[in-house]
Structure 1
Amino acid sequence: MTNETATTPSGQPLGISHKPSATEAMFTKFKAENRPAFIGYLPYGFPNPDVSLDALRTMVEHGVDAVEIGLPYSDPVMDGPVIQAASQLALNNGESINGVFKAVETVANAGGVPLVMSYWNLVFHYGVERFARDFENAGGAGLITPDLIPDEAGEWIEASDRHGLDRIFLVSPDSSDKRLEIVAKNTRGFVYAASRMGVTGERDTLSTSPEQLVQRTRQAGAENVCVGIGVSTAEQASKVGAYADGVIVGSALVHTLLADDNVTARDTAEGLKLLAAKTEELAQGVRDAR
């Protein structure tokens, strides 16, 4: 697929943006305060587009510092059952990539740092340059790409440089030292350290491997490393926040908006109330980490 080239009004190609990273500015501020960031995930359009905007605002108002706005996908190979169910509800209710920019604006207006988490196929078919332009215009900070590695991200690296957007790549406990160096070199914003191999989901316990992974990733050159996949309680959030620059929570937040059958959406008022309470619980765990 060929994407249009970004140009100035005179027809010259756009160069590299020197706009500072909102994500890096957040980490700089929090490091001065000796605390980690709380990053929350929610699929856009779940349980429907309007309620999802209310949910994103609720997360920021109750303690989330940055929001990963998920783009629901029909084949979410990295997502566990809770996020898969939420994504399917969003798709059933007509979620589309065009609407996600309203979600980005919502998070930015609420005072949070807006990130988008998307499988690369969605961005590729939307148009890489077009996505970067629309994302920047909406106030977006960065894109998390779970299935895109830096070696294959040339077009995105160029587009994100033109528009001053962060590039957030993933590493896992199985990543080699060489792989960690490649990711650290090409990342802008933070490196997403998956606490374990496998899909997302809530865990009763967390292993010690994420702490070791954070240390290895920093040694490879990464300035900011955040840990996700499995964090679901305040105690776990506090444990991770003691060594990571940021704590990422997804399924535990999404779960609050799902009914007990884990298939249908919970009553809106009840769901938003539970989301607010869970966000505050986890935020306190993050704040108490150090």
Structure 2
Amino acid sequence: MNRIDRAFRRSRDEGRSALVAYLMAGDPDLRTTEALAVACERGGADVLELGVPFSDPIADGPEIQRAGQRALRAGTRPRDVLDLAARLRARTEMPLVLMTYMNPISAMGLATFADRARDAGVDGVIVPDLSLEESGELRSALGARGVDPIPLVAPSTPEDRARAIAAAARGFVYVVARYGTTGVHQDIPTDLGPRLAMLKRMSPLPLAVGFGVSGPDHVRTLAGLGADGIVVGSAIVAHAARDPGAEGVERLVRSLASGLRPSEPTSPALRGSSP
């Protein structure tokens, strides 16, 4: 059982969802990101997702795009993010997941990237611009090194395709809550509960929901809908942009973690799907 498996089993045994906290590596600098990562764990995050800054991030909303641009201007490169992951691994057993795009991986070389991810103690990799049909080589390279390839299932994904994606997954399945890019939204799509139920019938892996989660009420509602994990990115990134102090981020994450135990899915946050 690897670190991702243990994190989700622990949260399940505690009767709650797992919190996946996202940070853009290198925003505003790598030293700050390291401090914020530790703050996220202290605040109650179960898994840390580190964004690798990239110039054309198709899945990222405005807040995370701005964070990526700041990180790029600060000179953050993919190998710097892997070095950061290695430093964090020396300090924590919290699972570390990279969210990156295929261009930086291809530039490094698939085998080299997989080697460096393993050596840094990375537990999983999410690549939002990599289709199932084109993912075999990277999945094999990562899997051979004990790194979980974590796919995304979108709202528009047909059932048969979702089943194939889930079958190829390791670690967990990232369920995209809404159409479009990441970002803070006011509601939870009404079709999300049935989609989660469908995916649970397809796969024994945990389902982590992201894109648009912005506060404890959203977290609580998603827990009530059956999400095994809840990914919060833009809200944390926006807070860190305003105040990069570790104490403030720890308080925010602690607040988010307060919603991890489920409530009834009739929460006011559930008001209809977003375009």
TM-score by length of 2: 0.91
Contact 1:196 1:209 in 2 (8 A): no
Tell me which residue corresponds to 1:90: 71
Tell me which residue corresponds to 1:166: 148
Rg bigger for which structure? 1
Contact 1:39 1:64 in 2 (8 A): yes
RMSD of equivalent CA atoms: 1.5
In structure 2, what is the Cα distance between the partners aligned to 1:103 and 1:35? 29
In structure 1, what is the Cα distance between the partners aligned to 2:258 and 2:109? 39
Tell me which residue corresponds to 1:79: 60
Counterpart of 1:143 in 2: which secondary structure?
strand
Q: 1:37 to 1:289 in 2, by over 3 A?
A: farther
1:189-200 matches, cutoff 5 A: 189-200=171-182
Q: 1:111 aligns with which of 75, 88, 93?
A: 93
Tell me which residue corresponds to 1:187: 169
Q: 2:228 aligns with which of 219, 241, 245?
A: 245
| CA offset digits 1:88-121 (Å, max 9, x no partner) | 0000000001111232234432331100001111
In structure 2, what is the Cα distance between the partners aligned to 1:289 and 1:164? 35
Q: Does 1:223 find its partner at 2:197?
A: no
Tell me which residue corresponds to 2:112: 130
Q: Does 1:256 find its partner at 2:239?
A: yes
In structure 2, what is the Cα distance between the partners aligned to 1:115 and 1:107? 12
In structure 2, what is the Cα distance between the partners aligned to 1:190 and 1:86? 25
| CA offset digits 1:247-270 (Å, max 9, x no partner) | 0000000011223xxxxxx4x43x
Tell me which residue corresponds to 2:267: none
Number of paired residues?
262
Percentage of matched positions with identical amino acids: 30
In structure 1, what is the Cα distance between the partners aligned to 2:263 and 2:18? 10
Q: Does 1:36 find its partner at 2:17?
A: yes
Q: Which runs of 5+ in 2 are unaligned?
A: 265-275
In structure 1, what is the Cα distance between the partners aligned to 2:197 and 2:168? 18
In structure 2, what is the Cα distance between the partners aligned to 1:41 and 1:251? 8
Q: Which runs of 5+ in 1 are unaligned?
A: 1-19, 260-265
In structure 2, what is the Cα distance between the partners aligned to 1:222 and 1:80? 30
Tell me which residue corresponds to 1:8: none
